[in-house]
Amino acid sequence: MARVHVFDHPLIQHKLTILRDRRTGPKEFRELVNEIAMLMAYEMTRDLPTEEVEVETPIAVARSRVLAGRKLGLIPILRAGLGMVEGMLRLIPAAKVGHIGVYRDPATLEPVEYYVKLPPDLPERDLFLLDPMLATGGSAVWAVDAVKRRGGTHVRFVSLIAAPEGIRRLTDAHPDVDVYVAAVDERLDEHGYIVPGLGDAGDRLFGTK
Ligand SMILES: O=P(O)(O)OC[C@H]1O[C@H](OP(=O)(O)OP(=O)(O)O)[C@H](O)[C@@H]1O
Ligand SMILES: O=c1cc[nH]c(=O)[nH]1
Ligand SMILES: [Mg+2]
């Protein structure tokens, strides 16, 4: 069964509050999304395996640890997921980055694909799908399907704000995919927006509204 992790770290919660504020403009919004993504990456990577190696310091040989597990991959869901990439890459610079282009049709709320480009060695990587908003879950389920169809096996989903409906739909469809969020909000409104949420993440990141 999928595990749902809600990050209640005070720094994440503080930054999320500023992000939600309707007065926060695109420059600060972008900075905050990246900072929260970086803090979430730090928390999320706690379980990565390490192994002991020897390293020569200027004084002596030390036994110390390095990452030893599978290679990593970040897959932002366009557009809004792009806002999380830089912050996560700061902590895990060796990760490869794939892209999934999908938008939610505003009338039907169904996902519409427009671009997919993923690293060829997907089966060998631990994959982190990134999207700030998990609303109905339609885009998330579609994106995980797309990654699995191309051979991805170890997938996690990372989001800033989720609606209970989206978490349910994603974990029902993909019980093997753990979900990491900074907040679970109350509900969806009649247009499929998260309440209270933060509005349209893509528009707020890129200033398109
Ligand atoms: O859970 P869902 O109901 O599918 O909604 C969530 C999706 O909606 C938003 O993208 P949007 O379609 O606005 O595209 P954008 O990132 O280009 O703005 C958001 O970034 C998710 O991808
Ligand atoms: O609240 C929502 C729901 C979907 N997409 C967004 O950007 N915000
Ligand atoms: Mg949008």
The yes-or-no answer on residue 104 being catalytic is: yes
- Entry pTM: 0.96
The yes-or-no answer on residue 105 being catalytic is: no
Q: Are strands 125-130 and 111-117 parallel, antiparallel or unpaired?
A: unpaired
Closest CA to 127 of 138, 118, 139, 140: 118
Closest CA to 164 of 186, 191, 138: 186
Residue 71: CB partners within 8 Å, gap ≥ 6?
94, 95, 96, 121, 124, 125, 126
- Rounded CA-CA distance 120/109 in Å is 30
* E-only strand ranges, 79-175: 96-97, 99-104, 111-117, 125-130, 133-134, 154-162
The atom number, within ligand 2, closest to the CA of 192 reads 3
Q: What is the ipTM of this complex?
A: 0.97
- Domain extents in the chain: 4-206
Cβ < 6 A, ligand 1 pocket: 77-80, 103-104, 109, 111, 131-140, 166, 192, 200-202
Among 3.20.20.80, 3.40.50.2020, 3.30.70.360, 3.40.50.720, name the CATH number for the domain at 4-206.
3.40.50.2020
pLDDT digits 0-9 by tens, 3-60 = 999 999 999 999 999 999 999 999 999 999 999 999 999 999 999 999 999 999 999 9
Closest CA to 34 of 76, 70, 73: 76
Closest CA to ligand 1's atom 10: 103
Q: Is 1 labelled as part of a ligand binding site?
A: no
pLDDT digits 0-9 by tens, 88-139 = 999 999 999 999 999 999 999 999 999 999 999 999 999 999 999 999 999 9
Q: Is 122 labelled as part of a ligand binding site?
A: no
